[in-house]
Chains A and B, each alone.
Chain A
């Protein structure tokens, strides 16, 4: 894992640490203040360890990961999994139900629509797929999950101000910028990079953006049809939990406009909007719900 750490105490009031990691096919960047250098370095290393562990657990493409093993065997037999993976599957199932099925970690399979793809046995921590072709992919879940984990690690260590950015699409904040009442994040205009389509203010909160990926591909699939969703707008979700923001932005993007409001209304304290970027830097924003 590529690892970059920088530390600056030029401003003695707010010594600042910066960590950049490549993880989960993306990059995690964290900036935080208030720690001594050796403390910060130790924290950076523990974050890296934790990220590596999550990556091992959730990467379905690495043959030996528990998720890969699950994908290989769970159609034939009950497969027992570790606590983290079990929790991730439980949460994913709850989110599937809570998003009218528009968030589904089994989207890449052609399994019967609107069915439950897997059954969890809480007693034995085991999983069984309900159809032979089920394949689970935690890609749409893991970044939010990791952000939750890591921001918890930071606050447990007494860090009060931090901004965590996972691949630009999921961002989470602890406290505020030392010289402001929030952390300011600009949503990048999709047609004119560098222009802020919308400014988001984060304070002990998180945000997530979904849309065409950075190559311009429609990569989000509607689980009910199995087809990629060709929507031009970005979906922005803001709220307390990075995980909920990530899940919700994906689900809202996948869902037809007519269903979006009903989905958001189930999540107290979360705000969602559709951002449509036009030519010449124009932007139109519609609040969902």
Chain B
């Protein structure tokens, strides 16, 4: 396939057409679905109004069918920040009281990881529709418990895995499922930063409350904070789940500075039943390579982060021969054919890429809060839609569930220095998307 054909092929799969049916959770993004909730309002409570919570608020204030009626945070300055957006909302420092508020239909949970499962369980029990930030839980058991609770209550539950709603990922995955890059033979993920991952602390007793990410009592570190986003890529592209994982993690650099106890340097290899490997690597004391996610196929590579496709058989500049057809058809002669030193078919690392769609929005992965145009808004919209309709979209929770489970399993493999498989009891129904 040449460059032109490839581009025109890509153009044919519109975000609105084929893809919505390919990925069932996108159904709520259709015009019809939007029509369905027109004029209605979802009454929302937000639990955890720190940086991610406020990031969501900035989207929520722009959405016509949302009314934020309650806010909760046990750190007053953060609660007050959020209250500025919603002066009429009721304020809480204990989330259980927020859950008692009758008119709250849905809650958005953006608290530290160790609170995700308890808060989600309570919210589901209280009959609320729930959007909880990733990762889904702090332990494998917690995730299962949450998953089962959602089933049992027939509730709505979304996890903050916004790549599932990012247009460039959706385009890329549908191309992969259509076989455009050939057989998938490898998945590479990495996330590098060079900063201490700390937030400023106004007074020392707040250290653990504010820098919860750095302590294993509250967080599983890089695996639950970063990896869970990227680990989705392999299962999504391959339509199967990893069979085993091995990994190595260490605190290499930032131990000099503070008392953190989560790794600052991790590598993991996930192996799928067909032998394909997916890697994840993260280092936060060197940022040269930034954030990267690549699906490697027998015909070419898709870079998910940049939305570029790199053919393994690049056709560089055209020879102009093909243009002769049009010249002869219309009875003219002009200079179109180019000669140069020999063109060879072997792949070149310099092979120019082709954007997989127009207007690709590229996100760097540097921000710890979130980035615009990365699917977060669409994810939130889908949750609002589900809050109004009460319908849980298919598969979206399963994708998120496994993203967290494998992040946790890898973390465990690192701590135990073992090759691990996901225990049968954690397996939930998962039908591949292909």
Chain A positions within 8 Å of B, measured between CB atoms, are: 6, 8, 10-11, 13-14, 16, 18, 20, 22, 25-27, 29-31, 33, 143, 163, 165, 167-171, 177-180, 183-188, 190, 193-194, 196, 199-200, 207, 209-215, 234
Given A168-B319, A179-B331: A26 in contact with B343 (beta carbons within 8 A): yes
User: Chain A residue with minimal CB distance to B335?
Assistant: A184
A-B contact pairs, 6 of them (CB 8 A): A167-B342, A168-B343, A184-B334, A188-B339, A211-B341, A213-B344
Q: CB within 8 Å of A: which of B331-362?
A: 331-346, 348, 350
Distance in Å: Cβ of A144 to nearest Cβ of chain B? 11
Q: Which of B74-82, B164-172, B240-248, B321-329 lies at the interface with chain A?
A: B321-329
Measured between alpha carbons, how far is A53 from B206 in the docked complex, in Å?
77
A8 → chain B, closest Cβ, in Å? 6
Q: Within 8 Å of chain A (Cβ to Cβ): is B317?
A: yes
Shortest distance in angstroms between A151's beta carbon and chain B's nearest beta carbon? 15
Chain A nearest CB, measured from B72 CB (Å): 59
B321 partner, pick from A29, A33, A186, A188, beta carbons under 8 A: A29
Whether, in the assembled complex, B316 has its beta carbon less than 8 Å from a beta carbon of chain A, the answer is yes
The answer to whether A214 and B343 touch across the interface, beta carbons within 8 angstroms, is yes
The interface residues of chain B lying within 8 Å CB-to-CB of A33 are: 328
B203, CB-defined interface residue at 8 Å: no
Bound-state Cα–Cα, A133 to B410, Å: 51
Contacts of B341 in A (CB 8 A): 168-169, 190, 209-214, 234
- Known: A29-B322, A215-B350; 11 extra A-B contacts, CB below 8 A, are A11-B329, A25-B346, A30-B321, A31-B324, A179-B333, A184-B336, A188-B340, A190-B341, A200-B339, A213-B342, A214-B344
A167 close to B327 (CB less than 8 A) = no
Assembly CA distance A184 to B333 (angstroms): 9
- Distance in Å: Cβ of A107 to nearest Cβ of chain B: 16
CB distance from A106 to the nearest CB of B (A): 20
Cα distance A179–B337 in the bound complex, in angstroms: 15
B84 close to chain A: CB less than 8 A? no
B343 to chain A, nearest CB (A): 5
Interface contact A187-B340, CB-CB below 8 Å: yes
Contact A25 to B344, CB < 8 A, known contacts A8-B329, A10-B329, A18-B321: yes
Q: Which residues of B contact A234 (CB under 8 A)?
A: 340-341
**Does B330 sit within 8 A of A, measured CB to CB?**
yes
- In the bound assembly, the distance between CA atoms of A179 and B333 in angstroms comes to 6
Known: A16-B325, A31-B321, A179-B332. A26 touches B339 (CB 8 A): no
Q: Which of B328, B334, B339 meets A14, CB within 8 Å?
A: B328
CB neighbours of B330 from chain A (8 A): 11
Interchain CB contact under 8 A, B338 and A22: no
B110 to chain A, nearest CB (A): 49
In whole angstroms, how far apart are the Cα atoms of A213 and B342 in the complex? Answer: 6
Please determine whether B324 and A199 come into contact, CB atoms closer than 8 angstroms.
no
Chain A residues, Cβ within 8 Å of B324: 16, 18, 31, 163, 177
A209's partner among B321, B331, B336, B339 (CB-CB below 8 A) is B339
A185 touches B342 (CB 8 A): no
Q: Which residues of B contact A25 (CB under 8 A)?
A: 344-346
Asked whether, in the complex, the Cβ of B321 is within 8 Å of the Cβ of A190, the reply is no
> A168: which B residues are within 8 A, CB to CB?
319, 338-343
Q: Quick one: which of B317, B338, B350 contacts A185, CB cutoff 8 A?
A: B338
Q: Which partner residue on chain B sits nearest A180 by CB separation? A: B333
Output the least CB separation between A95 and chain B (Å): 18
Tell me the complex Cα distance, A209–B328, Å: 26
Q: How far is the CA of A13 from the CA of B338 in the complex (A)?
A: 26
Q: Which among B322, B328, B332 has the greatest number of chain A C-beta atoms within 10 A?
A: B328
B5 to chain A, nearest CB (A): 10
Q: A31-B325, A179-B331 are in contact. Are A186 and B338 (CB under 8 A)?
A: yes
Please state if A163 and B342 are interface contacts (CB–CB under 8 Å). Answer: no
Looking across the interface, which residue of chain B has its beta carbon closest to that of A33? Answer: B328
Complex Cα gap A37–B53 (Å): 66
Query: When the two chains form their complex, are residues A163 and B344 in contact, meaning their CB atoms are under 8 A apart?
Result: no
Q: Which residues of A contact B316 (CB under 8 A)?
A: 214
- A186 in contact with B322 given A178-B328, A193-B317 (CB within 8 Å): no
Instruction: Determine which of A10, A169, A199, A215 lies in contact with B340 in the assembled complex, contact meaning CB atoms within 8 Å.
Output: A169
A93 to B342, CA, bound (A): 23
Contact A187 B339 (CB under 8 A): yes
The residue of chain B having its C-beta at the shortest distance from the C-beta of A207 within the complex is B339
In the complex, what distance in Å separates the CA atom of A180 from the CA atom of B322?
17
Given A14-B328, A178-B328, CB of A169 within 8 Å of CB of B333:
no
A184 touching B329 in the complex, CB below 8 Å, given contacts A27-B343, A167-B344: no
Partner of A188, one of B325, B327, B332, B338: B338
Residue in A closest to B321 when the chains form the complex, CB atoms = A29
- Residues on the B chain within 8 Å of A196, using CB: 335, 338
Residue of chain B at shortest CB distance from A29: B321
- Closest chain-A Cβ to B8's Cβ sits at a distance in Å of 15
Min CB–CB distance A161 → chain B (angstroms)? 9
